[in-house]
Amino acid sequence: MKRKPFLLVCAILLFVLSSCASFKGEKVNPVTAAPEISMMDQNGNPFQLSGMQGKVVLVFFGFTNCVDECPLTMAHIKQALGILGASAGDVRVVLVSTDPIRDTPQALQDFLGKFDPSYIGIPGTVDQLSKLWDAYDVEVLDGGETHSSFTYVIDKGGRLRLRFDPETAPEDMASDLKILLAEK
């Protein structure tokens, strides 16, 4: 008889602790509206970040000729979305180029197709992209090959909420995305 109350207390404690889950990624403070991205995507379609309201959006700044960090980050994102299962349909992934010379629409299509063809690539000119780099405080050097490597997480209301660094594990990304997807 004493075992049932103990198990009940353990179950309640586990529920309370899981309800108070905290983010694994770096919180953005203060939370503000995400800087707008309004450009053509890799398929020649107009893209507006503000049109993604109701979805959680991951924005990564990188380049298609990268051999290490950029493909690793995209692979981690793909793994995180795999962990989410069906709810991954409410997450959008956007890669903004840091190498406007080599990141042609076709190069972005080919690169993103290795991960998920539904991912959105944003090519552009140096002038167009540098405005986005500045808005997200992304440092781009060496023709785009050296750049800040955060993945920016935008909630369903269009607010910049988190940043994942390159070492963030897919399980931690998925955990944070679950929290944001559950928000009203």
For residue 101, what pLDDT is reported? 92
DSSP bridge partners of 27: 162
What residue spans define the domains of the chain?
A: 24-182
Full-model pTM? 0.85
Which whole number is the average pLDDT over 127-147?
82
Task: Report the C-alpha gap between 120 and 73 in whole angstroms.
Answer: 15
Residue 96 has pLDDT above 60, yes or no: yes
For residues 5 and 136, the model is more confident at 136
Q: For 8-150, where are the E strands, in sequence order? A: 26-33, 38-40, 46-48, 56-62, 91-97, 120-122, 140-141, 146-147
- CATH class label, 24-182: alpha beta
Q: Is 174 within 8 Å of 84 (Cβ atoms)?
A: yes
For residue 3, what pLDDT is reported? 60
Q: Which amino acid is at 111?
A: F
Q: What is the mean pLDDT of the chain?
A: 88
Q: How confident is the model at residue 147 (pLDDT cuts 50, 70, 90)?
A: low
Longest Cα–Cα distance in the chain: 72
For residue 183, what pLDDT is reported? 92
For residue 60, what pLDDT is reported? 95
For residue 69, what pLDDT is reported? 87
